[in-house]
Amino acid sequence: MQSPFPFQSILLFGFLAILLLAGVIFRAKVPFFQRFLFPSCLIGGLLGLILVNTGLVHFAAHDLETLAYHLFNISFISVGLTRGRKEHNTSGHKKEVVKGSLWMALTQGVTFPLQAAIGGLAVLLFSLFGLNLFPTFGFLVPLGFNEGPGQALSFGKVWETVGFNHAATLGLGFAAVGYFFAFFVGVPLVNHWIRKGSSAPGAGGLPRDFLVGITARDQRRESAGELPLHSANTDSLAFQAALVGLVYVLTYFLVKYFGKVLPPDAGKMLWGFFFFFGLGLALCARWLMEKMGIEYLVDPGIQRRITGWSVDFLIVATVAAIQVLVVWTYIVPFLVISLASGVLTTLVVLFLGKRLPSYNLERTVAIYGTVTGTVSCGLLLLRIADPEFQTPVALEIAIMNVFVVPIVGGCTVLVNGPLWWHWSTGFTVLVFAFIMAASLAALKALGLWSQKKA
């Protein structure tokens, strides 16, 4: 019997929920996933990729990409609304924390343009052999590696409107390869260094709940947040979600307005920066609430749960949305660019990490996970080397996100150079090479590049 109500959207959500639950079970039961710290959302996404591409489950890639796009925007808005926690123990001098944060920011300033330059040069190289790729094909790599699947999807969907067919799927494919480098290369490297005694004291022994991903029955659990609203009035989770929804709607009208006053092509591109405008408006909303004396109504604990929820479902949806046949069509340039980017990124991060004055291993693995996957990947790798977060690196990676905004923000604008300003691919590569050289020079000038350590 035909239902009088449409169920497609809720069934899609239910499908992703089942995949995530399956990922939780696989992580808890399969030692292989525990050994490489594969997050449940990524396991579930890979399972979804198999089910969707084999036709066992019928969900359109477009629907998965659309949902993932909105989840990506929600995660940034929630981050903007979240009030920061006061850190009482930085495990070191403030100057040391700032230096570590700058090192990681500038290392990201090296790897993003490095990956973009590799991608651009590969596009030029393949054109010599008669394979003409879209000018921004290679620039999907830093979006997928350095920024994660959400941004690769966001830009890819916009680039599809200007003639880059299947850009979103290819961007998600590059992001997936980045995750594989983060875990299949990152985890063995950390374990190798720990065995050599290169980490902080007490590193290497991970608690059981961290490995399996589920806390024990009698184990103390972390609080998810507090209730700033009385439950007899409105549920606090509903209120926190409503704040996100308010900022989302305001961002929609802001982007739509700017899109009308700008040239059509530039207006289309703005939708790829929706997350950025959403983050900005969320910060403005938080500032306004502080001025009104009601900032306490935004509970950071619950907002972090909203961020985490959206990111988990985002990763499940983005990986499941990868169309294998599309990636297979471009398999040669895809593999050449992604593998070259992964290998060279690994070598560059190791090279710079061995020349750090202090906390070499902890800072190296934290930034390596970040520039191949996401900040969460960096924190996972850091947790192996520094289980109790005795070093200041966990704090540094948070502060790093402030320092890196102008670098990565500028680079995400420059990947649109061939489309906005009609730059040639070669010229765009030169611009990225200049940024990479400037970041290396800054590392040297700030004393963050010393003699190689054993």
Domain presence at residue 244:
no
Domain presence at residue 450:
no
Q: What was the pLDDT predicted at 199? A: 58
Domain presence at residue 280:
yes
Ranges of residues in the chain with a pLDDT under 70 are 1, 84-93, 197-205, 451-454
**To which residue do tokens 């402030």 refer?**
402
Q: What was the pLDDT predicted at 88? A: 44
Q: What was the pLDDT predicted at 90? A: 46
The pLDDT tens digits for 127-180 are 999 999 999 999 999 999 999 999 999 999 999 999 999 999 999 999 999 999
**Sign for the pseudo-dihedral over CA of 215, 217, 218, 221:** positive
Domain presence at residue 321:
yes
- The answer to whether residues 19 and 45 touch, using CB atoms and an 8 Å cutoff, is yes
Domain presence at residue 413:
yes
The pLDDT tens digits for 357-373 are 888 899 999 999 999 99
Domain count, the chain: 1
Structural domain for 31, as ranges: 9-84+94-205+256-445
Q: What was the pLDDT predicted at 202? A: 53
Residues 6+ apart with CB under 8 A from 447: 99, 357
Task: Say what the alpha-carbon torsion angle 424, 425, 428, 432 is, to the nearest 10 degrees.
Answer: -170
Domain presence at residue 224:
no
- pLDDT more than 90, % of the chain: 73
Q: What was the pLDDT predicted at 85? A: 53
Q: What was the pLDDT predicted at 200? A: 57
DSSP state, residue 418: H
Q: What is the rounded CA–CA span in Å between residue 217 and residue 222? A: 13
- Of 44, 1, 53, the closest CA to residue 24 belongs to 44
